[in-house]
Amino acid sequence: MDLLIKKIIEKQNPTVVGLDPQWDFIPDDIKRKHLLGKQDTITEVCGAILEFNERIISAISFVVPAVKPNCAFYEQFGWQGMRVLYETIDFAKSKNLYVISDGKRNDIGSTMKSYAQAYIGITQVEDINFRAFPSDALTVNAYLGSDGIEPATDLCAKYDKDIFVLVKTSNASSGELQDMNLKFSPIPIYEKVALMCKNWGENLIGQYGYSSVGIVVGATYPDQLKELRSILPYTFFLVPGYGAQGGGAEDVRGAFDNLGLGAIINSSRGIMCAYKKHPTLTFDESCYVEAVNMKNDILSITGKIG
Amino acid sequence: MDLLIKKIIEKQNPTVVGLDPQWDFIPDDIKRKHLLGKQDTITEVCGAILEFNERIISAISFVVPAVKPNCAFYEQFGWQGMRVLYETIDFAKSKNLYVISDGKRNDIGSTMKSYAQAYIGITQVEDINFRAFPSDALTVNAYLGSDGIEPATDLCAKYDKDIFVLVKTSNASSGELQDMNLKFSPIPIYEKVALMCKNWGENLIGQYGYSSVGIVVGATYPDQLKELRSILPYTFFLVPGYGAQGGGAEDVRGAFDNLGLGAIINSSRGIMCAYKKHPTLTFDESCYVEAVNMKNDILSITGKIG
């Protein structure tokens, strides 16, 4: 997690901008520039999405350390959409941002290895070394146990990359399964998964004291955030649910350690749709202004970081 | 699940062929036909993979009702690989096969809706109606609860499609989480998830008595297969783990109902690598022969189906 933490300290900003380009979010002027009218295909749609992403990335790249594209919004546009995902990641890397691919991928053995190669490794075939979606981290789901995580942690170790495992997600129904208490240890499922993540990361601890195996915990569950912080001293948190989903700065206080490290807070709609809140600003200005507002909001509870 | 069951009865074959094109599996003659030598790129690799898939599909399409490409093996080749996934699905549909996209996707709300649109629905933008990866079913992970399933079941209802939810997976470490017993109901996690799937499917039961919400249960856990069959009367099972992973026909007996319905058994390597077992046959002949062998093996325990 060193690369992410280094960027957080440099920019004094523990936030990440979600790049989830729902069509409704894209401003009319970007749409008009790319759409032709009756002859429109997915190619034109993808052009608009890529411009939307690149404009956001350019606007925020001096203030924010990381971006998090969610694969679903690209996959819905087929291979053309996945090309936009690649181009978005590539553009964000060119702006020196840390990129978390939010794919929530999960499988076992050689299949999980393929997912991990795709996002945080290298696909090697014959003499070809290929980086499919060259990110710094991938979100993953641990329902399948170690067989689904170790192929990814192997690549974390090899290429100095990270994963974030779903533990306590931000949605209303997350408790249906995650909050069920276990019989033989007096803890809920999410805490069991969190402790598994602690173990998976114990040999991957970097110079700032955090391991390559992070976890996802929603801002909408502040008590669980605080509890998990106390039992996972070297596990970094990716925290969705701030802003549009209802979580505020006070709700994420418990995610941070005494140095203001230990967590990165995600906002997607708050930045992507900032222009709807600021009709007198340009699209790019409004992204920047809301990214700064978010930074200041979170810094008000962490203080100086690092 | 009607379309799948209809094809199973027509072909008297409750098996599905996994299309997981690991590079090692591809015969040398197919590789040689596509690779150029030093100038090779992922484009040539993808050409070989598509031919591999199309040859398998053509060889087995008269005997097998369904195929199951696992997205990971395509995603590792980036957007070019995802184009091969599209072309593979499209080719399988042209051969009248039922296609299960094995993506184990999971997210919430509009994000999960995007995944579901991509595989079992339609992506609608402006006047464009686009089918990204036009499958009949998608495998999904239920760790996030109803918020992650209902966007998919909505599309199952709308477009007569199916999902298969991970319940008890075939891998060795599946028990680390899935077998943990719950405190307030005397059942393990996988059974809790199974019962959630039963509920999610209860308003989606088709003419054969099975719902659109199937589950994934590994052939490597025969006792759990039998137990789940008894408590889930209208839930169809997708059963990996037969063949290379160690499960045999006897192990999957418990997955079927009295009519030989209720389950479809997957084999991937057994068919894809059949040519290594049959050096005197062509690649295509060996796929066909092993598909027939598998059919006969499973039919020996189900008897006539339907």
* Within a domain: A125: yes
Whole-model pTM? Answer: 0.97
**Does residue A243 have a pLDDT over 90?**
no
The tally of domains found in chain A comes to 1
- The answer to whether the CB of B67 falls within 8 A of the CB of B91 is no
CA A170 from centre of chain: 13
The predicted structure's pLDDT at residue B70: 98
* Within a domain: A17: yes
Mean pLDDT of B87-100: 98
The predicted structure's pLDDT at residue A286: 98
Chain A interface disruption, residue of B104, B168, B268, most A CBs within 10 A: B104
* Within a domain: A305: no
Torsion of CA A17, A152, A208, A13, to 10 degrees: 0
Known catalytic residue at A192: no
Q: Is A147–B70 a contact, with Cβ atoms under 8 angstroms apart?
A: no
CATH at residue B162: 3.20.20.70
Mean pLDDT of B239-259: 88
Q: What is the pLDDT of residues B117-168, one digit of tens each?
A: 999 999 999 989 999 999 999 999 999 999 999 999 999 999 999 999 999 9
Is A11's Cβ below 8 Å from some Cβ in B?
no
Question: Is the model more confident about A40 or about A211?
Answer: A211
Q: Is A76–B169 a contact, with Cβ atoms under 8 angstroms apart?
A: no
Mean pLDDT of A70-92: 98
Residues of B within 8 A of A73 (CB-CB) are: 111, 114
In chain A, count H helices and then E strands: 14, 10
Report the candidate in B201, B215, B123 with the shortest Cα–Cα distance to residue B156.
Answer: B201
- Indicate the average pLDDT of chain A: 95
CA distances from B8 to A101, A202, B62, B64, B206 (A): 38, 48, 12, 8, 15
Catalytic residue among B95, B104, B192, B226: B104
- The answer to whether the CB of A71 falls within 8 A of the CB of A115 is no
Task: Label residue A248 by pLDDT band (50, 70, 90).
Answer: confident
Is B169's Cβ below 8 Å from some Cβ in A?
yes
**Does residue A300 have a pLDDT over 80?**
yes
Determine the Cα–Cα distance for residues A237 and A255; give it in Å rounded to an integer.
7
Residues of B within 8 A of A195 (CB-CB) are: none
Q: Which domain holds residue B106?
A: 2-302
Catalytic residue among A104, A161, A168, A277: A104
The predicted structure's pLDDT at residue A241: 86
Q: What is the ipTM of this complex?
A: 0.97
Distance from CA of B207 to the nearest CA of A (A): 30
**Does residue A203 have a pLDDT over 90?**
yes
Task: Label residue B85 by pLDDT band (50, 70, 90).
Answer: very high
As a whole-number percent, the residues of chain A with pLDDT over 70 amount to 100
- Indicate the average pLDDT of chain B: 95
* Within a domain: A306: no
Task: Label residue A267 by pLDDT band (50, 70, 90).
Answer: very high
Mean pLDDT of A220-245: 92
Is A164's Cβ below 8 Å from some Cβ in B?
no
**Does residue B292 have a pLDDT over 90?**
yes
Task: Label residue B173 by pLDDT band (50, 70, 90).
Answer: very high
Report the candidate in A3, A8, A14 with the shortest Cα–Cα distance to residue A301.
Answer: A14
Determine the Cα–Cα distance for residues B303 and B257; give it in Å rounded to an integer.
11
